[in-house]
Structure 1
Amino acid sequence: RGGRHDSASYWRWSLVELSQGTASRRDGVSFAEELKLRRECSVLIQEAQELLEVSPVTYATAVTYCNRYFLHHSLRDKGVPHLLVATCCVYLACKVDEQPKPLHAVMRVCARLRHRAQPALAARLQSDPEEYRKEREALLRGEVEVLKALGFDLHITHPHKHLLAMLSWVNEVATRQGLEEVSRRVTPLGNLAFRLLSDSFHTLVCLQHTPEAVAAAMLELAAMLLGVELPVDNGRRFYERVSVDDDTHRVSPDDTEAG
């Protein structure tokens, strides 16, 4: 796929491209299996985020790195297993988002998650210096592979700030228009929208749509689920306060349910 790694459009793929054109597909991995393995990665990353006590934005950064990596690398690659890639992305995202964690802490947490069915394997990292050394070297080599796959393009624009801005706009307009019911429900609306946004990182939405469109879609979905009618201001809806070009309506149920 042509283009510059530092171009936002380079990392934005259509559902057709994702279902037919990834490295895993060329390696004989079905789309369903790819979605399953990608979800295993995102689940590990989310659990590691909670255990390491880093921000949800860092979780989003790590998942985005991981999903981008597997556009051009097969999930069948035994050289760097998919859950090791996820571990590398956690370590890298913590550094990039200025929430650095010691390498040994990331190794310990992620090894426990990767080997939850065989806890003795994770325990060996604590008791066997040679196992610790091998795991450390594998993680550092994997980090280099992730960096190369990303073309050292580490800057990620996430939907979170756009969602905050949209919620602020909804609250301001509702207050100005005297829509007390909407104003009263802005906080639960925001809480649900952010939960939906977090869940969306278990899908391929971050590869398919702009951050603005994803934020708008999560807010609109939250409003629909809560039965909140979002205000209109001089004919402008909330998503028109940022440049989303109405792309929110193209974030379909198929996108948000994939994986």
Structure 2
Amino acid sequence: MFCNINVSVISDCIELMMTAAPSADGKKGEAAAKPDSAAAAVTNEGRPHKYGRVLLTISNSVLPLERLSPSPSAQDGMSQETELDFRNLGCSFIQTAGKLLRLPQVAMATACVLYQRFFYSKSFIRYNFEHYAMGCLTLATKIEEAPRRPRDIINVFTHIKQVRSSKPIKPVILNPDYIRLKDSVIKAERRVLKELGFCVHMKHPHKLIVMYLQVLSFQDHQKFVQMSWNFMNDSLRTDCFVRYTPETIACACIYLSARKLNIPLPKKPAWFELLGVEEDDIRDCCYRIICLYQRKKVSQEELEKEVDRLKTNYENKKKEAKLQGSTLSTAVNSPASQPPSPHRKDKKAEDRSRSRSRSVDRKKKKKYKKGDRSRSPSSDRGGRDRRKKRDWSNSPIHKSRKHRSRSRERLSESRSKHEYRSDRSGYSDKYRKGTGMDGGYYRR
């Protein structure tokens, strides 16, 4: 069947597909030939860079093994099976919501990859997987230019949750709970952007499957193409997209479909070697996809209970560590914990002598102030005389009025006031009548 396939033609076609794009000067591959270290080390003027460059490439979605082996969720005490269930559940939510929202397949694939990448930098115990699944889908719709409102995404996720838990279907009410949920989704979208360093564009292997099948002359085999496409969509629920390149995943989907349909593929030379893919990577990727179909279905409520239990354990450990750290810091900083030394003894003696001298100086100052007050009483006379003296005449404890009754005092006061008024009125009448002058002078 494959006797007529020319290997050299296939290799030439693959080289043409995978060649670098032409640069601004029109020369192909010239930028790729220069090493990144040399380009980053020297500028156009020949001066070294103070800081390294930020590389935003499509290959950033493939994570190193150091970040994959102990995931943040595993570090917080979550088992590997529970973590895989959360990854599967979140991606299934995203794919079902994408179908109800009539999103393109590329948008759903982007959302799943963003979800997988984010939870390799953060833990499922500290962050709600449902909120971040909605945030990743909201971000993916903007990246792939098929935007949807956060309200529509919240409605669809609520509907899916009600159907899966066999609850009565009710619309989302615009209440404070909905407002808080919407704010958390928007914050989740921003946090995903921050954690991924705004490198959210990625290369999907869907086009590569069609291209590779054209090279292998199977573009007209509809069942083969459809099965490879289905394996590709199912692999989004695994972490294959953060472990392997798109070319490896496309070859793994073709390899699985060929084994399933009993279709032979060229072996001498092997077809995947012409595409620059290793057989071990293909088999490992196929194994992860097959394990997905053998997993038991887990309810969301059980997973949430497990997360709550792990969250309480994590918070208790955090409090214990904080208490231990505070006790250690106090023990280290206490003077009793520090060993005695001659230098320290001298320092203590100096501190004591200083404190004594300061106390003596304070006592002297106080004595001096008291002596000044006793020696110069005349200095304060002027100030005391200027002040208004308090009138003790009305005081009940005045010596002259100690044994007198209040009624007599009132009578004396009224008499004095009446006499003052009478004197004043007599003076005024006398002045008005003109008794001081000759009254007859005016009558004439």
How many matched pairs? 238
Where does 1:108-257 land on structure 2 (aligned, <5 Å)?
108-116=155-163, 117=165, 123=170, 125=172, 127-171=173-217, 186-231=221-266, 237-240=270-273, 242-246=275-279, 248-257=281-290
Q: Distance in 2 between matches of 1:152 and 1:169?
A: 35
Q: Please give the TM-score of this superposition, normalised by the length of structure 1.
A: 0.81
Q: Distance in 2 between matches of 1:68 and 1:6?
A: 15
Structure 1 unaligned regions, length at least 5: 172-181
Q: Render the CA deviation track for 1:179-209: whole Å, top value 9, x for unaligned.
A: xxx676x211010001111111121111211
Q: Please give the TM-score of this superposition, normalised by the length of structure 2.
A: 0.49
Q: Structure 1 residue 63 and structure 2 residue 112: aligned?
A: yes
Q: Render the CA deviation track for 1:117-146: whole Å, top value 9, x for unaligned.
A: 3757x8462x33433322221111111111
Partner of 1:23: 72
Q: Residue 197 of structure 2 aligns to a residue in which SS?
A: coil
Q: Once the 2 structures are TM-superposed, how far is the Cα of residue 4 of structure 1 from its aligned partner?
A: 6.6
Kept in 2, the 8 Å contact 1:209–1:251? The answer is no
Q: Residue 216 of structure 2 aligns to a residue in which SS?
A: helix
* Structure 1 residue corresponding to 2:88, chosen from 30, 33, 39: 39
> Which structure has the higher relative contact order (CA within 8 Å, separation 6+)?
1
Partner of 1:75: 124
Amino acid at match of 1:107: I
Q: Percent identity at matched positions?
A: 25
Which structure's CA Rg is the greater one?
Answer: 2
Q: Distance in 1 between matches of 2:219 and 2:133?
A: 40
Partner of 2:142: 95
128-137 or 187-196: bigger deviation:
128-137
Q: Distance in 2 between matches of 1:191 and 1:212?
A: 18
From the superposition, tell whether residues 10 and 222 of structure 1 become closer, same or farther in structure 2 (CA, over 3 Å). closer
Q: Distance in 1 between matches of 2:135 and 2:55?
A: 19
Cα root mean square deviation, aligned: 2.7
* Structure 2 residue corresponding to 1:12, chosen from 63, 70, 77: 63
From the superposition, tell whether residues 253 and 236 of structure 1 become closer, same or farther in structure 2 (CA, over 3 Å). closer
Q: Distance in 1 between matches of 2:278 and 2:70?
A: 27
Q: Once the 2 structures are TM-superposed, how far is the Cα of residue 102 of structure 1 from its aligned partner?
A: 2.2
Q: Once the 2 structures are TM-superposed, how far is the Cα of residue 256 of structure 1 from its aligned partner?
A: 2.1
Kept in 2, the 8 Å contact 1:203–1:257? The answer is no
Structure 2 unaligned regions, length at least 5: 1-52, 293-444
Q: Distance in 1 between matches of 2:122 and 2:244?
A: 21
Q: Once the 2 structures are TM-superposed, how far is the Cα of residue 115 of structure 1 from its aligned partner?
A: 4.7
Q: Distance in 2 between matches of 1:227 and 1:221?
A: 10
Q: Distance in 1 between matches of 2:202 and 2:247?
A: 13
Amino acid at match of 2:243: Q
From the superposition, tell whether residues 244 and 4 of structure 1 become closer, same or farther in structure 2 (CA, over 3 Å). farther
From the superposition, tell whether residues 247 and 163 of structure 1 become closer, same or farther in structure 2 (CA, over 3 Å). farther
Q: Distance in 1 between matches of 2:136 and 2:83?
A: 18
Kept in 2, the 8 Å contact 1:166–1:238? The answer is no
Q: Once the 2 structures are TM-superposed, how far is the Cα of residue 240 of structure 1 from its aligned partner?
A: 4.5
